[in-house]
Amino acid sequence: MIALTLAELASALGGRLLRATDTATVIHGDVHTDSRRIVPGSVFFALPGETTDGHLFAEAAVTAGAELLVVERELDLDVPQVLVSDGVTALASLARTVVARVRAAGQLRVVAITGSNGKTTTKNMLRAILEREGETVAPAGSFNNEVGAPFSMLGVTEQSRYLIVEMGASGIGEIASLISIVTPDVGVVLKVGLAHVGEFGGQDAIQRAKSEMVTELPPDAVAVLNTDDPRVTPMAALTRARVLWFGLGDTADVRAVDVEALASGTAFTLEVDGASHPVRLRILGEHHVMNALAAIAAAREIGVPVERSIPAVESLARAERWRMELLERPDGVVVINDAYNASPDSMAAALKTLAQITRDGRRSVAVLGEMAELGEYADDEHDRIGRLAVRLNISQLIVVGHRARHIHNAAGLEGSWDGESVLVGTPDEAYDVLRDQLRPGDVVLVKSSKSAELRFLGDRIAGVTA
Protein backbone atom coordinates (compact mmCIF):
# COMPACT_ATOMS: atom_id res chain seq x y z
CA MET A 1 0.00 0.00 0.00
CA ILE A 2 1.17 3.57 -0.64
CA ALA A 3 2.34 5.54 2.40
CA LEU A 4 -0.46 7.22 4.35
CA THR A 5 -0.53 8.82 7.77
CA LEU A 6 -2.81 7.45 10.45
CA ALA A 7 -5.01 10.52 10.04
CA GLU A 8 -5.21 9.99 6.28
CA LEU A 9 -6.03 6.32 6.76
CA ALA A 10 -8.82 7.07 9.22
CA SER A 11 -10.29 9.58 6.76
CA ALA A 12 -10.00 7.15 3.82
CA LEU A 13 -11.59 4.36 5.87
CA GLY A 14 -14.41 6.59 7.07
CA GLY A 15 -13.67 5.63 10.67
CA ARG A 16 -12.53 6.94 14.04
CA LEU A 17 -8.88 6.69 15.03
CA LEU A 18 -8.27 5.16 18.47
CA ARG A 19 -5.18 4.54 20.62
CA ALA A 20 -2.90 6.65 18.41
CA THR A 21 -0.31 8.89 20.05
CA ASP A 22 0.75 10.59 16.79
CA THR A 23 -1.75 10.92 13.94
CA ALA A 24 1.11 11.86 11.59
CA THR A 25 2.67 8.38 11.89
CA VAL A 26 3.13 6.98 8.40
CA ILE A 27 1.89 3.48 7.51
CA HIS A 28 2.98 1.84 4.27
CA GLY A 29 2.83 -1.91 4.90
CA ASP A 30 0.73 -4.53 3.18
CA VAL A 31 -2.94 -4.99 4.03
CA HIS A 32 -4.21 -8.41 5.14
CA THR A 33 -7.26 -10.14 6.59
CA ASP A 34 -5.25 -13.26 7.51
CA SER A 35 -3.18 -12.82 10.66
CA ARG A 36 -0.78 -15.54 9.45
CA ARG A 37 0.35 -13.25 6.62
CA ILE A 38 1.13 -10.29 8.85
CA VAL A 39 4.70 -8.99 8.90
CA PRO A 40 6.06 -5.93 10.74
CA GLY A 41 4.38 -2.79 9.42
CA SER A 42 1.22 -4.49 8.09
CA VAL A 43 -2.38 -3.33 8.38
CA PHE A 44 -4.80 -5.97 9.68
CA PHE A 45 -8.50 -5.85 8.77
CA ALA A 46 -10.50 -7.72 11.42
CA LEU A 47 -13.42 -8.76 9.23
CA PRO A 48 -16.31 -10.84 10.59
CA GLY A 49 -16.83 -14.00 8.51
CA GLU A 50 -19.37 -16.77 8.07
CA THR A 51 -17.40 -19.25 10.18
CA THR A 52 -15.12 -17.09 12.31
CA ASP A 53 -14.38 -13.48 13.27
CA GLY A 54 -11.18 -11.65 12.39
CA HIS A 55 -11.31 -9.81 15.72
CA LEU A 56 -10.36 -13.10 17.40
CA PHE A 57 -7.05 -13.06 15.54
CA ALA A 58 -6.17 -9.40 16.07
CA GLU A 59 -3.86 -10.15 18.99
CA ALA A 60 -1.92 -12.63 16.85
CA ALA A 61 -1.67 -9.97 14.15
CA VAL A 62 -0.26 -7.45 16.63
CA THR A 63 2.25 -10.01 17.90
CA ALA A 64 3.36 -10.56 14.30
CA GLY A 65 3.96 -6.84 13.86
CA ALA A 66 0.74 -5.22 12.66
CA GLU A 67 0.99 -1.43 13.08
CA LEU A 68 -2.71 -0.74 12.55
CA LEU A 69 -5.95 -2.61 13.14
CA VAL A 70 -9.18 -1.85 11.27
CA VAL A 71 -11.95 -3.04 13.57
CA GLU A 72 -15.72 -2.97 13.97
CA ARG A 73 -15.40 -2.89 17.76
CA GLU A 74 -12.56 -1.46 19.84
CA LEU A 75 -10.13 -4.07 21.09
CA ASP A 76 -8.09 -4.03 24.29
CA LEU A 77 -4.80 -4.02 22.41
CA ASP A 78 -2.12 -1.34 22.64
CA VAL A 79 -1.90 -0.51 18.94
CA PRO A 80 -3.57 2.16 16.77
CA GLN A 81 -7.04 1.14 15.62
CA VAL A 82 -9.53 2.62 13.17
CA LEU A 83 -13.06 1.89 14.30
CA VAL A 84 -15.47 1.49 11.35
CA SER A 85 -19.10 0.46 11.10
CA ASP A 86 -18.48 -2.04 8.29
CA GLY A 87 -15.07 -3.47 7.48
CA VAL A 88 -15.83 -4.45 3.89
CA THR A 89 -17.19 -0.98 3.10
CA ALA A 90 -14.13 0.56 4.74
CA LEU A 91 -11.86 -1.63 2.64
CA ALA A 92 -13.56 -0.41 -0.54
CA SER A 93 -13.21 3.20 0.61
CA LEU A 94 -9.49 2.75 1.25
CA ALA A 95 -8.97 1.15 -2.17
CA ARG A 96 -10.87 4.02 -3.80
CA THR A 97 -8.62 6.59 -2.12
CA VAL A 98 -5.37 4.76 -2.90
CA VAL A 99 -6.15 4.22 -6.58
CA ALA A 100 -7.33 7.81 -6.99
CA ARG A 101 -4.09 9.14 -5.47
CA VAL A 102 -1.92 6.95 -7.68
CA ARG A 103 -3.90 7.94 -10.76
CA ALA A 104 -3.57 11.63 -9.93
CA ALA A 105 0.18 11.30 -9.46
CA GLY A 106 1.13 9.11 -12.43
CA GLN A 107 0.18 7.22 -15.57
CA LEU A 108 -1.95 4.41 -14.13
CA ARG A 109 -4.32 2.69 -16.57
CA VAL A 110 -7.00 0.28 -15.35
CA VAL A 111 -8.47 -2.78 -17.09
CA ALA A 112 -11.42 -4.63 -15.51
CA ILE A 113 -12.48 -8.12 -16.60
CA THR A 114 -15.73 -9.97 -16.01
CA GLY A 115 -17.49 -13.01 -17.46
CA SER A 116 -18.90 -16.34 -16.39
CA ASN A 117 -15.74 -18.14 -17.52
CA GLY A 118 -12.18 -17.20 -18.36
CA LYS A 119 -11.61 -14.21 -16.07
CA THR A 120 -8.51 -15.59 -14.37
CA THR A 121 -6.90 -16.89 -17.56
CA THR A 122 -7.55 -13.61 -19.37
CA LYS A 123 -6.14 -11.71 -16.39
CA ASN A 124 -2.99 -13.84 -16.46
CA MET A 125 -2.57 -13.35 -20.20
CA LEU A 126 -3.04 -9.61 -19.89
CA ARG A 127 -0.62 -9.47 -16.98
CA ALA A 128 1.98 -11.31 -19.07
CA ILE A 129 1.58 -8.64 -21.75
CA LEU A 130 1.60 -5.59 -19.50
CA GLU A 131 4.43 -6.70 -17.21
CA ARG A 132 6.74 -6.30 -20.19
CA GLU A 133 5.60 -2.69 -20.57
CA GLY A 134 5.80 -1.45 -16.98
CA GLU A 135 4.92 -2.11 -13.33
CA THR A 136 1.68 -4.10 -13.34
CA VAL A 137 -0.61 -4.98 -10.45
CA ALA A 138 -3.01 -7.91 -10.84
CA PRO A 139 -4.81 -10.16 -8.36
CA ALA A 140 -3.33 -13.40 -7.14
CA GLY A 141 -5.54 -16.37 -7.93
CA SER A 142 -9.19 -15.43 -8.29
CA PHE A 143 -9.40 -12.41 -5.99
CA ASN A 144 -12.47 -10.95 -7.65
CA ASN A 145 -15.17 -10.37 -5.04
CA GLU A 146 -16.04 -7.48 -2.73
CA VAL A 147 -13.03 -8.28 -0.54
CA GLY A 148 -10.52 -9.77 -2.98
CA ALA A 149 -10.80 -7.08 -5.66
CA PRO A 150 -10.15 -4.11 -3.32
CA PHE A 151 -7.19 -5.94 -1.80
CA SER A 152 -5.74 -6.29 -5.31
CA MET A 153 -6.23 -2.57 -5.94
CA LEU A 154 -4.29 -1.70 -2.77
CA GLY A 155 -1.17 -3.18 -4.39
CA VAL A 156 -0.66 -0.15 -6.64
CA THR A 157 2.26 2.20 -6.06
CA GLU A 158 3.27 5.57 -7.48
CA GLN A 159 5.32 3.66 -10.06
CA SER A 160 2.47 1.40 -11.22
CA ARG A 161 1.48 1.81 -14.86
CA TYR A 162 -1.23 -0.83 -15.08
CA LEU A 163 -3.88 -2.25 -12.75
CA ILE A 164 -5.85 -5.34 -13.77
CA VAL A 165 -8.99 -6.08 -11.77
CA GLU A 166 -11.09 -9.25 -11.94
CA MET A 167 -14.73 -8.58 -11.19
CA GLY A 168 -16.83 -11.54 -10.20
CA ALA A 169 -20.38 -11.51 -8.90
CA SER A 170 -22.91 -13.72 -7.21
CA GLY A 171 -25.74 -11.19 -7.47
CA ILE A 172 -27.01 -8.00 -9.05
CA GLY A 173 -25.15 -4.84 -8.09
CA GLU A 174 -21.82 -6.39 -7.10
CA ILE A 175 -19.93 -5.48 -10.28
CA ALA A 176 -21.39 -1.96 -10.20
CA SER A 177 -20.10 -1.65 -6.65
CA LEU A 178 -16.59 -2.70 -7.70
CA ILE A 179 -16.62 -0.31 -10.66
CA SER A 180 -17.52 2.52 -8.28
CA ILE A 181 -14.23 1.90 -6.47
CA VAL A 182 -12.07 2.13 -9.58
CA THR A 183 -13.41 3.39 -12.91
CA PRO A 184 -11.76 1.29 -15.65
CA ASP A 185 -10.21 2.67 -18.81
CA VAL A 186 -11.09 -0.66 -20.45
CA GLY A 187 -13.90 -3.00 -19.41
CA VAL A 188 -13.91 -6.56 -20.77
CA VAL A 189 -16.93 -8.90 -20.88
CA LEU A 190 -15.94 -12.43 -21.85
CA LYS A 191 -19.08 -14.55 -21.65
CA VAL A 192 -22.46 -14.93 -20.03
CA GLY A 193 -22.80 -18.59 -19.06
CA LEU A 194 -24.29 -20.68 -16.28
CA ALA A 195 -21.54 -20.34 -13.69
CA HIS A 196 -23.16 -19.58 -10.28
CA VAL A 197 -26.60 -19.67 -11.89
CA GLY A 198 -27.99 -21.21 -8.71
CA GLU A 199 -27.08 -18.07 -6.78
CA PHE A 200 -28.41 -15.68 -9.45
CA GLY A 201 -31.65 -17.57 -10.10
CA GLY A 202 -31.37 -17.59 -13.89
CA GLN A 203 -29.21 -16.67 -16.86
CA ASP A 204 -31.12 -13.43 -17.46
CA ALA A 205 -29.99 -12.25 -14.04
CA ILE A 206 -26.40 -13.20 -14.85
CA GLN A 207 -26.64 -11.15 -18.03
CA ARG A 208 -27.90 -8.13 -16.09
CA ALA A 209 -25.11 -8.48 -13.56
CA LYS A 210 -22.37 -8.73 -16.19
CA SER A 211 -23.90 -5.77 -18.04
CA GLU A 212 -22.97 -3.59 -15.08
CA MET A 213 -19.42 -3.65 -16.43
CA VAL A 214 -20.42 -1.60 -19.49
CA THR A 215 -23.28 0.48 -18.08
CA GLU A 216 -20.91 1.98 -15.52
CA LEU A 217 -18.10 2.85 -17.97
CA PRO A 218 -17.55 6.55 -18.76
CA PRO A 219 -17.69 7.85 -22.36
CA ASP A 220 -13.89 7.99 -22.71
CA ALA A 221 -13.49 4.30 -21.79
CA VAL A 222 -13.57 1.25 -24.08
CA ALA A 223 -15.87 -1.77 -23.75
CA VAL A 224 -14.19 -4.91 -25.12
CA LEU A 225 -17.01 -7.34 -25.90
CA ASN A 226 -17.39 -10.90 -27.18
CA THR A 227 -19.09 -10.70 -30.57
CA ASP A 228 -19.85 -14.44 -30.55
CA ASP A 229 -21.96 -14.48 -27.38
CA PRO A 230 -25.60 -13.49 -28.02
CA ARG A 231 -25.95 -12.45 -24.37
CA VAL A 232 -22.94 -10.12 -24.58
CA THR A 233 -23.66 -8.40 -27.91
CA PRO A 234 -26.75 -6.49 -26.60
CA MET A 235 -24.47 -4.80 -24.07
CA ALA A 236 -23.15 -2.51 -26.81
CA ALA A 237 -26.44 -0.61 -26.66
CA LEU A 238 -26.12 -0.12 -22.89
CA THR A 239 -22.79 1.67 -22.73
CA ARG A 240 -21.56 5.21 -23.30
CA ALA A 241 -18.07 3.81 -23.98
CA ARG A 242 -16.60 3.02 -27.36
CA VAL A 243 -17.06 -0.69 -28.24
CA LEU A 244 -14.37 -3.01 -29.55
CA TRP A 245 -15.41 -6.53 -30.58
CA PHE A 246 -13.36 -9.71 -30.27
CA GLY A 247 -14.22 -13.24 -31.37
CA LEU A 248 -14.28 -15.71 -34.23
CA GLY A 249 -17.04 -14.09 -36.27
CA ASP A 250 -16.72 -11.73 -39.21
CA THR A 251 -17.86 -8.74 -37.14
CA ALA A 252 -14.91 -8.97 -34.73
CA ASP A 253 -12.34 -6.17 -34.72
CA VAL A 254 -9.84 -8.57 -33.13
CA ARG A 255 -10.47 -11.97 -34.69
CA ALA A 256 -9.10 -15.52 -34.65
CA VAL A 257 -9.26 -17.81 -37.69
CA ASP A 258 -7.83 -21.24 -38.49
CA VAL A 259 -8.00 -22.37 -34.86
CA GLU A 260 -6.33 -25.73 -34.23
CA ALA A 261 -6.25 -27.64 -30.94
CA LEU A 262 -3.06 -29.62 -30.42
CA ALA A 263 -1.68 -31.75 -27.61
CA SER A 264 1.08 -29.14 -27.23
CA GLY A 265 -1.25 -26.13 -27.14
CA THR A 266 -3.54 -24.16 -29.42
CA ALA A 267 -2.70 -22.44 -32.70
CA PHE A 268 -4.62 -19.75 -34.55
CA THR A 269 -4.20 -16.77 -36.84
CA LEU A 270 -4.90 -13.36 -35.36
CA GLU A 271 -6.53 -10.85 -37.70
CA VAL A 272 -6.51 -7.21 -36.57
CA ASP A 273 -6.03 -3.82 -38.21
CA GLY A 274 -5.84 -5.40 -41.66
CA ALA A 275 -2.91 -7.69 -40.77
CA SER A 276 -2.58 -11.39 -39.93
CA HIS A 277 -0.35 -12.81 -37.20
CA PRO A 278 0.31 -16.49 -36.38
CA VAL A 279 -0.18 -17.30 -32.68
CA ARG A 280 0.76 -20.51 -30.88
CA LEU A 281 -0.51 -20.77 -27.30
CA ARG A 282 1.09 -23.28 -24.98
CA ILE A 283 -2.20 -23.43 -23.04
CA LEU A 284 -4.52 -26.29 -24.00
CA GLY A 285 -8.02 -25.73 -25.31
CA GLU A 286 -9.74 -23.83 -28.10
CA HIS A 287 -11.76 -21.90 -25.52
CA HIS A 288 -8.58 -20.11 -24.42
CA VAL A 289 -8.33 -18.50 -27.85
CA MET A 290 -11.17 -16.18 -26.82
CA ASN A 291 -9.30 -15.29 -23.63
CA ALA A 292 -6.18 -14.49 -25.65
CA LEU A 293 -8.17 -12.31 -28.03
CA ALA A 294 -9.69 -10.38 -25.13
CA ALA A 295 -6.28 -9.84 -23.51
CA ILE A 296 -4.66 -8.71 -26.76
CA ALA A 297 -7.61 -6.41 -27.52
CA ALA A 298 -7.51 -4.81 -24.06
CA ALA A 299 -3.75 -4.28 -24.26
CA ARG A 300 -4.14 -2.74 -27.74
CA GLU A 301 -6.62 -0.23 -26.34
CA ILE A 302 -4.13 1.04 -23.77
CA GLY A 303 -1.35 1.36 -26.29
CA VAL A 304 0.44 -1.99 -26.54
CA PRO A 305 0.98 -3.09 -30.17
CA VAL A 306 -0.27 -6.61 -30.96
CA GLU A 307 3.23 -7.50 -32.16
CA ARG A 308 4.42 -7.13 -28.55
CA SER A 309 1.36 -8.83 -27.03
CA ILE A 310 1.63 -12.05 -29.03
CA PRO A 311 5.00 -13.25 -27.64
CA ALA A 312 3.75 -12.54 -24.12
CA VAL A 313 0.63 -14.72 -24.39
CA GLU A 314 2.63 -17.40 -26.18
CA SER A 315 5.04 -17.54 -23.23
CA LEU A 316 2.43 -18.74 -20.71
CA ALA A 317 2.90 -22.44 -19.99
CA ARG A 318 -0.45 -22.82 -18.24
CA ALA A 319 -3.56 -20.82 -17.50
CA GLU A 320 -2.94 -21.21 -13.75
CA ARG A 321 -2.42 -23.96 -11.22
CA TRP A 322 -5.21 -26.57 -11.65
CA ARG A 323 -6.60 -24.81 -14.75
CA MET A 324 -6.00 -26.89 -17.88
CA GLU A 325 -2.66 -27.76 -16.32
CA LEU A 326 -0.76 -30.29 -18.44
CA LEU A 327 1.17 -32.89 -16.43
CA GLU A 328 3.08 -35.80 -17.97
CA ARG A 329 4.19 -38.95 -16.20
CA PRO A 330 7.41 -40.80 -17.03
CA ASP A 331 5.36 -43.67 -18.47
CA GLY A 332 3.69 -41.37 -21.02
CA VAL A 333 0.35 -40.92 -19.27
CA VAL A 334 -0.75 -37.30 -19.68
CA VAL A 335 -2.97 -35.62 -17.06
CA ILE A 336 -4.95 -32.44 -17.76
CA ASN A 337 -5.71 -31.13 -14.28
CA ASP A 338 -8.58 -28.65 -14.67
CA ALA A 339 -10.34 -29.16 -11.37
CA TYR A 340 -10.11 -25.73 -9.76
CA ASN A 341 -13.47 -24.61 -11.11
CA ALA A 342 -16.25 -25.95 -13.31
CA SER A 343 -19.38 -24.71 -15.03
CA PRO A 344 -21.39 -26.34 -17.83
CA ASP A 345 -19.53 -24.25 -20.41
CA SER A 346 -16.05 -24.93 -19.08
CA MET A 347 -16.80 -28.62 -18.55
CA ALA A 348 -17.98 -28.98 -22.15
CA ALA A 349 -14.94 -27.07 -23.43
CA ALA A 350 -12.55 -29.28 -21.47
CA LEU A 351 -14.20 -32.47 -22.78
CA LYS A 352 -13.99 -31.19 -26.35
CA THR A 353 -10.30 -30.44 -25.86
CA LEU A 354 -9.74 -33.98 -24.55
CA ALA A 355 -11.47 -35.41 -27.61
CA GLN A 356 -9.50 -33.19 -30.01
CA ILE A 357 -6.06 -34.06 -28.69
CA THR A 358 -6.69 -37.83 -28.60
CA ARG A 359 -7.72 -38.23 -32.23
CA ASP A 360 -4.40 -39.95 -32.93
CA GLY A 361 -5.67 -43.16 -31.34
CA ARG A 362 -4.69 -42.46 -27.73
CA ARG A 363 -7.22 -43.39 -25.07
CA SER A 364 -9.18 -40.52 -23.55
CA VAL A 365 -10.21 -40.77 -19.90
CA ALA A 366 -12.45 -38.20 -18.24
CA VAL A 367 -12.64 -38.05 -14.44
CA LEU A 368 -15.52 -35.71 -13.65
CA GLY A 369 -17.01 -34.39 -10.43
CA GLU A 370 -19.75 -32.01 -9.43
CA MET A 371 -20.36 -28.63 -11.05
CA ALA A 372 -21.41 -26.60 -8.02
CA GLU A 373 -23.79 -23.66 -7.57
CA LEU A 374 -26.18 -24.59 -10.39
CA GLY A 375 -29.32 -24.70 -8.25
CA GLU A 376 -32.37 -26.00 -10.11
CA TYR A 377 -30.29 -26.41 -13.28
CA ALA A 378 -27.91 -28.93 -11.70
CA ASP A 379 -29.57 -32.20 -12.78
CA ASP A 380 -30.12 -31.15 -16.39
CA GLU A 381 -26.63 -29.72 -16.81
CA HIS A 382 -24.91 -32.77 -15.34
CA ASP A 383 -27.09 -34.91 -17.59
CA ARG A 384 -26.00 -32.87 -20.62
CA ILE A 385 -22.33 -33.38 -19.79
CA GLY A 386 -22.77 -37.14 -19.52
CA ARG A 387 -24.37 -37.32 -22.94
CA LEU A 388 -21.69 -35.06 -24.40
CA ALA A 389 -18.93 -37.37 -23.14
CA VAL A 390 -20.49 -40.23 -25.09
CA ARG A 391 -21.01 -38.18 -28.24
CA LEU A 392 -17.40 -37.06 -28.15
CA ASN A 393 -16.38 -40.73 -28.02
CA ILE A 394 -14.48 -40.41 -24.74
CA SER A 395 -12.94 -43.84 -24.08
CA GLN A 396 -13.52 -44.03 -20.32
CA LEU A 397 -15.62 -41.94 -17.93
CA ILE A 398 -15.17 -42.00 -14.16
CA VAL A 399 -17.73 -39.94 -12.24
CA VAL A 400 -16.90 -39.03 -8.65
CA GLY A 401 -19.46 -38.27 -5.96
CA HIS A 402 -23.20 -38.53 -5.48
CA ARG A 403 -23.84 -34.96 -6.64
CA ALA A 404 -22.30 -35.74 -10.01
CA ARG A 405 -24.22 -38.99 -10.51
CA HIS A 406 -26.39 -37.61 -13.31
CA ILE A 407 -23.30 -37.47 -15.52
CA HIS A 408 -22.90 -41.22 -15.08
CA ASN A 409 -26.61 -41.97 -15.42
CA ALA A 410 -26.96 -39.95 -18.63
CA ALA A 411 -23.89 -41.56 -20.19
CA GLY A 412 -25.34 -45.00 -19.47
CA LEU A 413 -28.58 -44.06 -21.24
CA GLU A 414 -26.74 -43.34 -24.48
CA GLY A 415 -27.16 -46.52 -26.50
CA SER A 416 -23.61 -46.61 -27.83
CA TRP A 417 -22.02 -47.13 -24.42
CA ASP A 418 -21.78 -50.31 -22.39
CA GLY A 419 -19.80 -50.05 -19.17
CA GLU A 420 -17.51 -47.21 -20.22
CA SER A 421 -18.80 -45.09 -17.32
CA VAL A 422 -18.03 -45.87 -13.68
CA LEU A 423 -19.57 -44.10 -10.68
CA VAL A 424 -17.48 -43.96 -7.49
CA GLY A 425 -18.06 -42.22 -4.20
CA THR A 426 -14.71 -40.64 -3.42
CA PRO A 427 -11.49 -39.42 -5.06
CA ASP A 428 -9.65 -42.31 -3.38
CA GLU A 429 -11.96 -44.80 -5.09
CA ALA A 430 -11.41 -43.05 -8.40
CA TYR A 431 -7.66 -43.30 -7.91
CA ASP A 432 -7.95 -47.04 -7.28
CA VAL A 433 -9.87 -47.49 -10.55
CA LEU A 434 -7.35 -45.43 -12.50
CA ARG A 435 -4.34 -47.16 -10.95
CA ASP A 436 -5.58 -50.47 -12.33
CA GLN A 437 -6.68 -49.21 -15.74
CA LEU A 438 -4.24 -46.54 -16.97
CA ARG A 439 -1.64 -47.47 -19.53
CA PRO A 440 1.12 -45.53 -21.31
CA GLY A 441 -0.19 -42.95 -23.75
CA ASP A 442 -3.55 -42.39 -22.03
CA VAL A 443 -4.72 -38.80 -21.67
CA VAL A 444 -6.68 -38.14 -18.47
CA LEU A 445 -8.85 -35.07 -17.93
CA VAL A 446 -9.71 -34.30 -14.30
CA LYS A 447 -12.50 -31.71 -14.08
CA SER A 448 -14.84 -30.52 -11.32
CA SER A 449 -15.69 -27.58 -9.15
CA LYS A 450 -13.19 -26.82 -6.40
CA SER A 451 -15.53 -28.18 -3.73
CA ALA A 452 -15.19 -31.70 -5.14
CA GLU A 453 -11.43 -31.57 -4.46
CA LEU A 454 -10.54 -33.51 -7.59
CA ARG A 455 -7.58 -31.18 -8.21
CA PHE A 456 -5.67 -33.16 -5.59
CA LEU A 457 -6.67 -36.38 -7.34
CA GLY A 458 -5.25 -34.95 -10.58
CA ASP A 459 -1.96 -34.24 -8.83
CA ARG A 460 -1.93 -37.71 -7.33
CA ILE A 461 -2.52 -39.40 -10.68
CA ALA A 462 0.30 -37.37 -12.21
CA GLY A 463 2.65 -37.97 -9.29
CA VAL A 464 2.79 -34.32 -8.30
CA THR A 465 3.60 -33.95 -4.61
CA ALA A 466 3.31 -30.17 -4.15
177-221 pLDDT per residue, tens: 999 999 999 999 999 976 666 666 678 888 998 999 999 899 999
Res. 466: pLDDT tops 60:
no
How confident is the model over 413-418, as a mean pLDDT? 74
* pLDDT tens track for 210-256: 999 999 899 999 999 999 999 999 999 999 999 999 999 999 999 99
* pLDDT tens track for 319-365: 778 788 889 999 999 999 999 889 999 999 999 999 999 988 899 99
**pLDDT for 51:** 81
**pLDDT range class, residue 49, cuts 50, 70, 90:** confident
The reply to whether 50 falls in a domain is yes
Record the pTM. 0.88
Res. 458: pLDDT tops 90:
yes
Residues 188 and 216 in one domain: yes
Percent of the chain with pLDDT over 90: 80
The reply to whether 430 falls in a domain is yes
Residues 130 and 225 in one domain: yes
Residues 301 and 167 in one domain: yes
Residues 140 and 159 in one domain: yes
Residues 79 and 118 in one domain: no
Residues 171 and 247 in one domain: yes
Res. 374: pLDDT tops 60:
yes
Residues 247 and 280 in one domain: yes
The reply to whether 110 falls in a domain is yes
Last residue of a domain, one of 314, 336, 354: 314
The reply to whether 90 falls in a domain is no
Q: What is the mean pLDDT of the chain?
A: 93
The reply to whether 146 falls in a domain is yes
Res. 416: pLDDT tops 90:
no
The reply to whether 390 falls in a domain is yes
**pLDDT for 439:** 93
Residues 122 and 237 in one domain: yes
Residues 255 and 330 in one domain: no
**pLDDT for 86:** 96
The reply to whether 319 falls in a domain is no
Last residue of a domain, one of 293, 314, 335: 314
The reply to whether 9 falls in a domain is yes
* pLDDT tens track for 258-297: 999 888 889 999 999 999 999 999 998 888 999 999 999 9
Residues 239 and 116 in one domain: yes
Residues 41 and 135 in one domain: no
* pLDDT tens track for 85-144: 999 999 999 999 999 999 998 899 999 999 988 898 999 999 999 999 999 999 887 678
Query: SS3 for the chain, per residue?
Result: CCCEEHHHHHHHHCCEEECCCCCCCEECCCEECCHHHCCCCCEEECCECCCCEHHHHHHHHHHHCCCEEEECCCCCCCCCEEECCCHHHHHHHHHHHHHHHHHHHCCCEEEEEECCCCHHHHHHHHHHHHCCCCCEECCCCCCCCCCHHHHHHCCCCCCCCEEEEECCCCCCCHHHHHHHHCCCCEEEECCCCCCCHHHHCCHHHHHHHHHHHHHCCCCCCEEEEECCCCCCHHHHHHCCCEEEEEECCCCCCEEEEEEEEECCEEEEEEEECCEEEEEEECCCCCHHHHHHHHHHHHHHHCCCCHHHHHHHHHCCCCCECCECEEEECCCCCEEEEECCCCCHHHHHHHHHHHHHCCCCCCCEEEEECCCCCCHHHHHHHHHHHHHHHHHCCCCEEEEECHHHHHHHHHHHHCCCCCCCEEEECCHHHHHHHHHHHCCCCCEEEEECCHHHCHHHHHHHHHCCCC
**pLDDT for 196:** 60
State which residues form the domain around 17: 4-85
Last residue of a domain, one of 56, 85, 114: 85
How confident is the model over 295-302, as a mean pLDDT? 98
For the domain that residue 125 is a member of, what is the CATH number? 3.40.1190.10
Number of structural domains the chain divides into? 3
Residues 355 and 439 in one domain: yes
For the domain that residue 332 is a member of, what is the CATH number? 3.90.190.20
For the domain that residue 61 is a member of, what is the CATH number? 3.40.1390.10
Percent of the chain with pLDDT over 70: 97
Of residues 420 and 13, the one with the higher pLDDT is: 13
